[in-house]
Structure 1
């Protein structure tokens, strides 16, 4: 399970880095970094949400699209892992 979470985290990190590169932002980022603090705008957050849905082949429920869930890579990881587990259980 820990390897699965690490894989999810690495994939999210890759998505965030791609958005930062598109915006010509060179920032050090880790799982605890606040995404707004490294330079993501509200429009970038929308793009990140769409990228996450495509990357993980899931639809994020409206109730999960909250500032808290998009605060950091770690918060996104927890939300995605919960979504994937609930889809698997269904």
Structure 2
């Protein structure tokens, strides 16, 4: 999952800093992520993982790091499988 998220952020995140040098817990906003890029990242994530990110997760914390977004996605996928 994290590798796929890295690919999405590399393509859609328009980061000022290369992802290769960042850990999964690194602050992506400090690396140059902005609100416009978040929209592109969100759409790519929803397509790639076949989920819809609910409004309560459309916030800075969700997209602050690869690890944070992965945790939200894992929760959403678990909810889908239990429904």
Per the TM superposition, whether the score is higher than 0.5 is yes
Q: Which has the higher contact order (CA 8 A, sep 6+)?
A: 1
Gaps of 5+ in 2: none
State the alpha-carbon separation in 2 of the partners of residues 24 and 13 from structure 1.
11
Equivalent in the alignment of 1:15: 8
Correspondent of 2:51 among 45, 53, 58: 58
Pick aligned residue for 2:25 from 32, 35, 50:
32
TM-score, length of structure 2 as denominator length: 0.87
RMSD (Å) for aligned C-alpha atoms: 1.6
**Structure 1: stretches of 5+ with no match in the other structure:** 1-7
Residue 24 of structure 1 deviates from its aligned partner by: 7.8
Equivalent-residue separation in structure 1 for 2:69 and 2:29 (angstroms): 13
| Alpha-carbon shift at residue 33 of structure 1 (Å) | 1.3
1:30-80 deviations in Å (ceiling 9; x for gaps): 201111111111100111111110110111111111211111000000000
Aligned residues: 81
